[in-house]
Amino acid sequence: MNQSSIRSVICGVGYYLPQEVVGSDDIQRRVYDASSFTIPNGLIKRATGIAERRFRHEDEQSSDLALKASLVAMERAGVGPEDVDLLIFAACTQDVAEPATANILQEKLGLPHAQVFDAKNACNSFLTGLDIADSHIRAGKSRCALVAVGETLSLTINWAIKSIDDLRARISSLTLGDAGGAVVVKGSSNGYGQGIITSAFRSYGEKWRLATVLGGGSMHRFDERYGYFTSSSQGLMEAAYEHIPGLVAEVLDRVGWKPSDVDVACAHQVSEEMVYKLAEKCGVNVETTIVSVTDCGNTAAASIPIGLGRAYERGLLRPGAKVLLVGGAAGFSVGVVPLIW
């Protein structure tokens, strides 16, 4: 196979949602039970469009959510454990600080020949992992890669909200949901133009304070107070509107697509309103955007593979379909990946 002609093709996609369904009214009750703070009835759903999300069972780890999604993706791709030579676990959350969660997932999947490691880039972890897998395949270092996500974000919610200021800092955490997602990526040179065409990423490090979980590192190693997600919702929204449309336009121009050419758009999602506003600002038809935030919540790095999985289940990923993957993440970072299905 001529390496210069190889493209990375997503040949299997899967996702997993835990069984426990938690409505936004349930979230408000949990806050009240923890701190006696009353969130106005229906506020979370009105503000975000999120009706419900899923929470993991207490025995489910990040690797378990990734495992269940990976098994679906591998079955759809028609590959077995012995075929996977690269495993990238790409998520905000993890099982342990060391070793890589990818090692734990490797054991659970029984992958005998795989190089494994974690890729962590907040909500852009999946796109970053996909980009690394693409690079390995194009370079001839991998023939069959598995990029897997397992997000146990419910563990980062601080229910003890005691004031309006607390609510402002933590309302984004009340939108979080748990989920798994995965794709199998293989090299192809079939001449039909299928696969990942290019990718583009930008980062604006001066905005890293907009969304954080400050614990677990050298700043606040074992301090439980810093183990929770906090953010500036307004700041993140402004950063997204400022930086995402420009990179989308740059990438579309690079590959010769018009926004109207996009058949399926899968993006990271934090609220229903932002999904539609960003699509509008990017010029992409909102009807092509796969929405998951309304019934899954903000699933961080799992958002995009969930979108791909639902598009597959709806029969939208027909051969030749033009697919646009778009991510915005804490950091602040942006990623855009166009591909032909």
How does pLDDT run across 5-58, given as a tens digit for each residue?
789 999 999 999 999 999 999 999 999 999 999 999 899 999 999 999 999 999
Provide the pairing of β-strand 7-16 with 179-188. antiparallel
Residue type, 286: V
Q: For residue 140, give the nearest of 171, 186, 97, 102 by alpha carbon.
A: 186
Cis check: omega of the bond before 99, within 30 degrees of 0: yes
User: Count H helices, E strands: the chain?
Assistant: 10, 14
Q: For residue 143, give the nearest of 112, 186, 114, 111 by alpha carbon.
A: 186
In the block, residue with structure tokens 């810093």: 226
In terms of domains, do 76 and 202 share one?
A: no
Q: For residue 174, give the nearest of 291, 29, 338, 315 by alpha carbon.
A: 29
Quick one: tokens of 165? Answer: 């200021």
**Residue 6: φ, ψ to 5°:** -80, 135
> Which helix (H) or strand (E) is 184 found in, with range?
strand 179-188
Is 239 in contact with 208 (CB distance < 8 Å)? Answer: no
In terms of domains, do 239 and 125 share one?
A: no
In terms of domains, do 99 and 129 share one?
A: yes
Query: 63-94: per-residue pLDDT in tens?
Result: 999 999 999 999 999 999 999 999 999 999 99
pLDDT at residue 192 tops 70:
no
**For the residues 97-118, what does the mean pLDDT come to?**
98
Is 281 in contact with 157 (CB distance < 8 Å)? Answer: no
Handedness of CA 272, 19, 21, 300 (dihedral sign): negative
* Domain interval for residue 105: 3-188
Is 271 in contact with 293 (CB distance < 8 Å)? Answer: yes
**Residue at a domain's end among 142, 165, 188:** 188
- Its pTM stands at 0.95
Is 189 in contact with 3 (CB distance < 8 Å)? Answer: no
**DSSP letter for each residue of 262-282:** -SEEEE--S-HHHHHHHHHHH
Q: Residue 166 — very low, low, confident or very high, per pLDDT cuts 50/70/90?
A: confident
- For the chain, what is the domain count? 2
In the block, residue with structure tokens 């990526």: 185
pLDDT at residue 216 tops 60:
yes
In terms of domains, do 171 and 242 share one?
A: no
Q: CB within 8 A of 73, min separation 6: which ones?
A: 12, 13, 14, 146, 148, 182, 183, 184
In terms of domains, do 87 and 233 share one?
A: no
Query: 217-275: per-residue pLDDT in tens?
Result: 999 988 888 999 999 999 999 999 999 999 999 999 999 999 999 999 999 999 999 99
pLDDT at residue 155 tops 60:
yes
Provide the pairing of β-strand 333-340 with 322-329. antiparallel
In terms of domains, do 180 and 202 share one?
A: no
Radius of gyration of the chain (CA): 19
Q: What's the CATH code of the domain at 262?
A: 3.40.47.10
**Residue at a domain's end among 131, 160, 188:** 188
